[in-house]
Structure 1
Amino acid sequence: TPPARVVRPVLWVTSISSVPAAAGACGGFLSRPSGRFSSPSYPGSYPNNARCVWDIEVQNNHRVTVVFRDVQLESNCNYDYIEVFDGPALSSPLIARVCHGSRDSFTSSSNFMSIRFVSDGSVTRSGFQADYYSRPSNHSTKLLCLPDRMQANVSRSYLQSLGYSASDLVILHWQDVQQCQAQVTASQVTFTIPYAGCGTTQQLDNDTITYSNTLQAAIPVGNGLIQRRPSLHLHVSCRMLRDTWVDLMYVANDNAEVQEVQYGNFAVNMSFYTSSSFAYPVTMHPYYVRLNQDLYVQAEIRRAAAPMALFVDTCVASPSSQDLPSVAYDLIRSGCVRDDTYQALPAPAPGLARFKFRSFHFLHRLPAVYLHCKVLVCRAHDPASRCRGGCQPRPKRDLGSYQEKVDVVLGPIRLQAP
């Protein structure tokens, strides 16, 4: 057996929605600072019954501007049209509906914007072409959502412009100064606010989990009974929405509001374990095993206090780590077990998924095996979620049955020499 180098197992995690859009493709994910996209086959005719969504995500604390250069659609805007959303299309406000002949531009309030193109079943034309670019947003306030906490940064010059000092800004209705006090530098005030502390509240609705808190600055006078300047409230929220984390901060100062929204991915971790106790993850790379040995795998969602469940929908084995393997063997597909040795195992928490299978080698003695798994993230207590649906060889179209699909590639696994 070749000597094993002791490091963490190699793990690739990518969201399905993060695959860049190919030229002429019907929708896709755009993450460069600027770019161009167009309707399918542009400047040729787009197809009937098109349903295309482009998700545009730029770097944190930037905003997205989309400029429609050419829009040639069916003249009736109820038939063929483009919709611009201020964030993910399924859950964000509609900024505008773009119709034939428009040459408008639109700017998001965050670093995320969605564009949806819809055509009906009859007349088609050449479609549209649009450019997008990013620009920095307001630098007075910034918010970052981390795995177990949010970090809110407020410019001291911004506070001073409103008549406040750094010491005036506190977490509203929270008394634990040691845990929740701000860190003050020459330029900014930083609050590190845990999702499970400092008065942070949690709200779960149909497709989001939102963690919220409030910062306040106020200077009372007259023994605390009156004040002569408006209170400053900064409402901060981290929202898990489908496949993304949404960082939301807005400032309420009388009738004035400033909003900053940021988006980022949450993580699903998947590892081999040495035994059915799942006490010790495998740290060898490659992972050398015996033929027909039981292999134990655990997937977990890395997000504190998030009531989410995991479901292993599909796992295929391949001798390649590439995203689209040419040679593959199904262990489980669409929740249906295809390999006799595959067995789902009980997990102590909804945010964990465990299974085992027996090792093998491909014909012609290809040197290694990689696992390509698709893991679904669902609301933990939703009886109608896909995570509770089991085997669905021909799943029905259901937009709300899960929150996220995550693709994981785990390996390589190599057989020990006889």
Structure 2
Amino acid sequence: MQSSTQSNRCQHDYVEVYDGPLHSSPLLGKICAGSLHTFTSSSNLMTVRFHSDSRYTFRGFQAHYSSIPADHNTTLLCLPDYMRAVVSKDYLQSQGYSVQSVTMSNSHCRPTVTSQEVIFNVPYNGCGTVREENNDTINYSNIIKATSSGYIIKRKKDLHLHISCKMLQNTWMQIMYVAEDIADVNENQFGRYDVNITFYDSASFSQPLYDFPYYIDLNQNLFLQAYLHSADKDLVLFVDTCVASPDPHDFNTLAYDIIKSGCVRDSSFATFYSPYSHLARFKFNAFEFINRHTSVYLKCELDVCRLRDYSSRCYQGCISRSKRDTSSAQEKVDVLVGPIQLREGGAESRSTGNVK
């Protein structure tokens, strides 16, 4: 990324560039005015934050960005239920290690070996994975080892490949590095939690409905369940906002708020008891807004937090927009559901689980 030159004396408008998510990543630079400056992130995520004192108006800032190919010797992918670590066979052999020497501390966790790669699927709740918490992340870590040949005389140290998935709100930070005498290899990636929303036929939430569009009657109760796909059950899901719109690409121009920043805007909205923290159940009634449009879509924003972390967003309830703007930024999962259509006379009831 390129932008104006960096300065420590920014008195008016300025731009901050972070190496990853806001508030949890190092500041790469603070930019005011002047010549071009280049920043390089350590992952596929960079945050650009603009500050303005609203006193003067000038031409503003301009930025250009491009992507750089990652190192393909080692890669790490943090999936909902496990870490997927891939090591190149050519890389191992070039460092003097055999494929057969690559193991984990738990001997039952064996890799899949292809013609080009050694692949470990490491569960978050197994294979010796360690779970640690700090103020704003949940860290899952493990070690893949490659031993050098020879039992009495070893001419090369063992290779330790440290893998770590770090969860910040709903964002995974993925890290892979090699320790000891091997050149450090760092793989940083960011992804999102897998969350879906499904309609159900009643408040018992026993029968999901999957066909689409979802044909309904005016004032009919709509029952929805949000589900967080994660092997870690010490997480909680919170429905922050749900907005309806006839346009699945625009939830601002013509929209109807059902719940906004945890504040109920439609009197028919209600939540239900959930037997699991990674499930959120709620309902509302079909409303006149649906009657005026051919199809209506829902866009819901959900928060993912640590269970029983009562300082987190999931336990704060209704927060006004003005108060919320003064707090730290919240990472969210956006889920789109729809379309919902009014049933015509004689049409059979249908439903949707169409989630994007």
TM-score range, shorter chain: 0.7 to 0.9
Q: Which residue of 2 aligns with 1:217?
A: 146
CA distance in 2: counterparts of 1:144 and 1:188, whole angstroms: 14
Query: How far did 1:319 drift?
Result: 4.0
Which of 37, 43, 60 aligns to 1:104? It is 37
CA displacement 1:139-169 (0-9 Å, x = unmatched): 2111122221121111122112211111111
Whether 2:346 is the aligned partner of 1:414: answer no
- For structure 1, which segment, 158-167 or 363-372, has the greater mean C-alpha deviation from structure 2 after superposition? 363-372
2:97 partner SS: coil
Query: How far did 1:305 drift?
Result: 0.9
Whether 2:121 is the aligned partner of 1:192: answer yes
CA distance in 1: counterparts of 2:151 and 2:248, whole angstroms: 69
CA distance in 2: counterparts of 1:363 and 1:255, whole angstroms: 62
CA distance in 2: counterparts of 1:393 and 1:116, whole angstroms: 22
Q: Which residue of 1 aligns with 2:219?
A: 292
2:91 partner SS: helix
Asked if structure 1 preserves the Cα contact closer than 8 Å seen for 2:297 and 2:336, the reply is: no
Whether 2:107 is the aligned partner of 1:175: answer yes
Asked if structure 2 preserves the Cα contact closer than 8 Å seen for 1:291 and 1:360, the reply is: yes
Asked if structure 1 preserves the Cα contact closer than 8 Å seen for 2:159 and 2:182, the reply is: no
Query: How far did 1:215 drift?
Result: 0.8
Q: Which runs of 5+ in 1 are unaligned?
A: 1-65
Q: Which residue of 2 aligns with 1:334?
A: 261
Distance change >3 Å, CA 99–CA 231, structure 1 → 2: farther
Which of 284, 309, 324 aligns to 2:236? It is 309
Query: How far did 1:84 drift?
Result: 3.3
For the aligned residue pairs, the C-alpha RMSD in angstroms reads 2.9
Whether 2:18 is the aligned partner of 1:85: answer yes
CA displacement 1:69-91 (0-9 Å, x = unmatched): x54x8893566554433222321
TM normalised by structure 1 equals 0.73
Question: Which protein is richer in strand relative to its size?
Answer: 1
CA distance in 2: counterparts of 1:202 and 1:82, whole angstroms: 35
CA distance in 2: counterparts of 1:266 and 1:218, whole angstroms: 35
Query: How far did 1:125 drift?
Result: 5.5
Query: How far did 1:304 drift?
Result: 1.9
Q: Which residue of 2 aligns with 1:166?
A: 99
Q: Which residue of 2 aligns with 1:376?
A: 303
1:271 partner SS: strand
Query: How far did 1:97 drift?
Result: 4.1
Matches within 5 A, 1:3-402: 66-68=1-3, 70-71=4-5, 76-77=9-10, 81-98=14-31, 100-119=33-52, 126-171=59-104, 173-176=105-108, 180-219=109-148, 221-223=150-152, 227-254=154-181, 256-305=183-232, 307-324=234-251, 326-362=253-289, 365-394=292-321, 396-397=323-324, 399-400=327-328, 402=330
CA distance in 2: counterparts of 1:199 and 1:277, whole angstroms: 38
Asked if structure 2 preserves the Cα contact closer than 8 Å seen for 1:200 and 1:213, the reply is: yes
Q: Which runs of 5+ in 2 are unaligned?
A: 347-356
1:175 partner SS: coil
Asked if structure 2 preserves the Cα contact closer than 8 Å seen for 1:286 and 1:414, the reply is: no
CA distance in 2: counterparts of 1:120 and 1:235, whole angstroms: 44
- For structure 1, which segment, 230-239 or 352-361, has the greater mean C-alpha deviation from structure 2 after superposition? 352-361
Distance change >3 Å, CA 352–CA 219, structure 1 → 2: same
User: What residue identity is the alignment partner of 2:193?
Assistant: F
Q: Which residue of 2 aligns with 1:52?
A: none
Asked if structure 1 preserves the Cα contact closer than 8 Å seen for 2:147 and 2:157, the reply is: yes
User: What residue identity is the alignment partner of 1:417?
Assistant: G
CA displacement 1:14-43 (0-9 Å, x = unmatched): xxxxxxxxxxxxxxxxxxxxxxxxxxxxxx
Distance change >3 Å, CA 87–CA 392, structure 1 → 2: closer
Q: Which residue of 1 aligns with 2:350?
A: none
CA displacement 1:33-73 (0-9 Å, x = unmatched): xxxxxxxxxxxxxxxxxxxxxxxxxxxxxxxxx233x54x8
CA distance in 2: counterparts of 1:166 and 1:83, whole angstroms: 44
- For structure 1, which segment, 123-132 or 105-114, has the greater mean C-alpha deviation from structure 2 after superposition? 123-132
Asked if structure 2 preserves the Cα contact closer than 8 Å seen for 1:386 and 1:401, the reply is: no
Count of paired positions: 345
CA displacement 1:304-362 (0-9 Å, x = unmatched): 21532222223334444342264444433333333333221111112111112233444
1:157 partner SS: helix
User: What residue identity is the alignment partner of 1:210?
Assistant: N
Distance change >3 Å, CA 92–CA 328, structure 1 → 2: closer
CA displacement 1:348-377 (0-9 Å, x = unmatched): 112111112233444865333433333233
Distance change >3 Å, CA 255–CA 277, structure 1 → 2: same
Query: How far did 1:170 drift?
Result: 1.0
2:141 partner SS: strand
Q: Which residue of 1 aligns with 2:351?
A: none
1:191 partner SS: strand
Q: Which residue of 2 aligns with 1:46?
A: none
- For structure 1, which segment, 208-217 or 324-333, has the greater mean C-alpha deviation from structure 2 after superposition? 324-333
Distance change >3 Å, CA 100–CA 292, structure 1 → 2: closer
User: What residue identity is the alignment partner of 2:310?
Assistant: P
User: What residue identity is the alignment partner of 1:349?
Assistant: Y
Give % identity.
46
1:384 partner SS: coil
